[in-house]
Amino acid sequence: MTDERAQRIAENESRFRSINDRMRADLETVAEEGEPLDFVCECGNDACRESVPLSVGEYEAVRVDARRFAIVPGHEIPDVETVVETHDGRYAVIEKDPRADPIVKATDPRADEMR
């Protein structure tokens, strides 16, 4: 694994997370409590266009940690992240390698809220 490659993957994942954060407020207004909604897969593949079915509560549980991302199962990149949760084949939660902390924390749209 090269640091440049790991950085590019973390930036891609962070970009998808930003899209989901912007969509979350709008999606929440149209969803029933606990209803799965289509969020963008937050994997490191910049060509991915798949969606991840998550309730708003499930999405918020992933977002508690800036190093965690919701992905389609199988979209993980094992040399730069670890699958830490799987949920009924609907989605997986990956956690970035600690070396990616500066990128994922700096690009987290909620970073100011967590300080």
Tens of pLDDT, residue by residue over 32-65, are: 777 888 999 999 999 999 999 999 899 999 999 9
Q: State residue 49's pLDDT score.
A: 95
- For residues 93-105, average pLDDT: 88
Tokens, residue 94: 């990956």
For helices 3-30 and 56-63, angle between their N-to-C axes, nearest 10 degrees: 150
- pLDDT at site 50: 97
Task: Mark out the alpha helices in 1-115 (DSSP H runs).
Answer: 3-30, 56-63, 101-106
Residue 100: phi and psi, rounded to 5, are: -90, -5
